[in-house]
């Protein structure tokens, strides 16, 4: 189990949670449920989480499968430096973001999923936990596959 990069799964889970938050938020806002403003918050939080988590970080070992079109978001994520690079910061951020959505039934699933993603990010070993951008232009040896 030592070689598992939990951050990679946390990234998938967080991206899914973002989508769930957006969906729950849309349902709550469109249906004008009681306290639907939490739904509006949930949409915004969901979009933010999705944008942050969309670019997949570079794996420590082996090649990383990039998501389609992720290089545009990579540039933005790189801008924020340690706030987006450090996985512990992401863990705390996701935990805080998930709390307000927990007040509404429509978005509580998003809360649970984002909290779980936050927990998985915390499984990262100390000192080895940083998001690194996948380089768009890799220097290639001639003829390398």
Partner 1 sequence: MGNWVVNHWFSVLFLVVWLGLNVFLFVDAFLKYEKADKYYYTRKILGSTLACARASALCLNFNSTLILLPVCRNLLSFLRGTCSFCSRTLRKQLDHNLTFHKLVAYMICLHTAIHIIAHLFNFDCYSRSRQATDGSLASILSSLSHDEKKGGSWLNPIQSRNTTVEYVTFTSIAGLTGVIMTIALILMVTSATEFIRRSYFEVFWYTHHLFIFYILGLGIHGIGGIVRGQTEESMNESHPRKCAESFEMWDDRDSHCRRPKFEGHPPESWKWILAPVILYICERILRFYRSQQKVVITKVVMHPSKVLELQMNKRGFSMEVGQYIFVNCPSISLLEWHPFTLTSAPEEDFFSIHIRAAGDWTENLIRAFEQQYSPIPRIEVDGPFGTASEDVFQYEVAVLVGAGIGVTPFASILKSIWYKFQCADHNLKTKKIYFYWICRETGAFSWFNNLLTSLEQEMEELGKVGFLNYRLFLTGWDSNIVGHAALNFDKATDIVTGLKQKTSFGRPMWDNEFSTIATSHPKSVVGVFLCGPRTLAKSLRKCCHRYSSLDPRKVQFYFNKENF
Q: Does 126 bind partner 1 (CB under 8 A)?
A: no
CA angle at 130 for the pair 49 and 52, rounded to the nearest 5° = 15
Helical ranges in 31-142 per DSSP H: 37-53, 70-79, 82-85, 87-101, 105-121
Handedness of CA 6, 130, 135, 78 (dihedral sign): positive
Judged by CB under 8 A, the chain residues 44 through 83 that form the site for partner 1 are 56, 59, 62, 65
Q: Could you tell me how many residues of this chain bind partner 1 (CB under 8 A)?
A: 35
The piece of 8-16, 46-54, 72-80, 93-101 that touches partner 1 (CB under 8 A) is 8-16
Question: Measured from the CB atom, is 8 or 133 closer to partner 1?
Answer: 8
DSSP 49: H
90 belongs to the binding site for partner 1 (CB under 8 A):
no
Q: What is the CA radius of gyration of the chain?
A: 17
Encoded one letter per residue, x for contact with partner 1 by CB under 8 A and - for no contact, window 96-115 reads ---------xx-xx--xx--
């Amino acid at each position: 189990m030592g070689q598992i990069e939990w951050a990679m799964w946390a990234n998938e889970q967080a991206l899914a949670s973002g989508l769930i938050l957006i969906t729950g938020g849309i349902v709550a806002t469109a249906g004008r449920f009681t306290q639907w403003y939490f739904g509006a918050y949930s949409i915004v939080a969901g979009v933010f989480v999705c944008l942050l988590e969309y670019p997949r970080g570079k794996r420590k070992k082996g090649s990383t499968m990039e998501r389609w079109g992720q290089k545009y978001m990579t540039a933005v994520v790189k801008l924020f430096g340690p706030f987006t690079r450090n996985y512990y910061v992401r863990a705390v951020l996701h935990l805080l973001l998930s709390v307000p959505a927990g007040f509404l039934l429509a978005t509580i699933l998003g809360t649970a999923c984002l909290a779980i993603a936050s927990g998985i990010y915390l499984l990262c070993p100390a000192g080895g936990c940083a998001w690194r951008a996948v380089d768009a232009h890799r220097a290639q040896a001639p003829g390398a596959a």
